[in-house]
Amino acid sequence: SPSGHANDANPVSASIGAAVLAGASTNINGERKSRKKEKRACKRPLSAYNIFFREERKKILESIPGNNAREGDVSSCACNAKPTRRGKKRPHGKITFESLAKMIGTRWKEIGPERLAHYKARAKKETERYTQLVKEYQDKVERAKRQKGENISHEADK
């Protein structure tokens, strides 16, 4: 190749190399990498269905009287359950997620217009609250960046 770079022969590699140099977040195959979310960043708001799902899940699990497994079956005991990947919640062992989701999905399809409006209103409030939190968070980050920039310029003046 005229410039002596190996990437010039393959246009895909050359464009990937250029993207990497330009600061784009791609991996070696040219696929976009997911950005890691900051721990302090706001969580996205729940949709009407998510709010409904959370409430119905709680109702369903409370209506099931304990484990459906036999008493002698140690493998289904919650105390012997391995912690989940995130290490937060242990499985309840009452109902599979698939069955739970199908049940709740059916209930969602049969929901009345008044109740649906209630959940949509709650979701709208969540979205408004989220929008406000994001704005406050972005302002806070921007202030921190400006302050950090001022500190660096003051140190350079010394």
Question: At 87, is the pLDDT very low, low, confident or very high (cuts 50, 70, 90)?
Answer: low
Give pLDDT tens digits for 42-73. 899 999 999 999 999 999 999 988 754 433 33
- Side-chain-facing half-sphere of 60: CA atoms under 13 Å: 20
Q: What length does the chain have?
A: 158
Question: Is 61:99 a contact under the CB 8 Å cutoff?
Answer: no
Helix pair angle (48-63, 97-109), 10° resolution: 120
Phi, psi dihedrals of residue 64, rounded to the nearest 5°: -85, 125
Average pLDDT, the chain: 75
Question: At 88, is the pLDDT very low, low, confident or very high (cuts 50, 70, 90)?
Answer: low
Question: Is 81:90 a contact under the CB 8 Å cutoff?
Answer: yes
Q: Which amino acid is at 62?
A: E
Query: How far is Cα 158 from Cα 156, in angstroms, rounded to an integer?
Result: 5
Q: Compute the average pLDDT of residues 85-110.
A: 85
Query: How far is Cα 65 from Cα 80, in angstroms, rounded to an integer?
Result: 20
